[in-house]
Amino acid sequence: MPIFVILIIISLSFYLYFKTKYFRTKRPMEKQWISAKSSIALGAFVLLFGINQYFIHQSTLSIVIGILFIAMGGGSIWAGMRAYKYYYPLAVKETHE
């Protein structure tokens, strides 16, 4: 499905953007906050790739691998969102000091 391909490319672009931003910043809490955003983008990439695999190939092996990718991507998104919520106030506080 072409919509998943477009979303995969967008999420990969966001991941690369946040990773380059991560290496350019000097503040430690802001680094962790940006790392959480890149984790969310990478999780979205893996999740969407797993969904795309499910629709393209209908073999048993492909479905199992797609389910694993969906689970790993969902876990990465969940962990990234928790880290984002934790580090965001600290990053804001760090910029005002």
Q: pLDDT digit string (tens) for 46-89?
A: 999 999 988 888 889 989 999 999 999 999 999 999 999 999 99
Q: Look at the chain and report how many structural domains it folds into.
A: 1
Contacts of residue 79, Cβ cutoff 8 Å, sequence gap at least 6 = 39, 43
Helices and strands (H and E) in the chain: how many: 3, 0
Q: What is the mean pLDDT of residues 24-49?
A: 96
Contacts of residue 11, Cβ cutoff 8 Å, sequence gap at least 6 = 41, 42, 44, 45, 48
- CA of 50: how far to CAs of 11, 41, 77, in Å? 13, 14, 14
**Domain coverage including residue 23:** 2-96
Q: What is the C-alpha separation between 45 and 13, in angstroms, rounded?
A: 9
The pTM of the full predicted model, rounded to 2 decimals, is 0.91
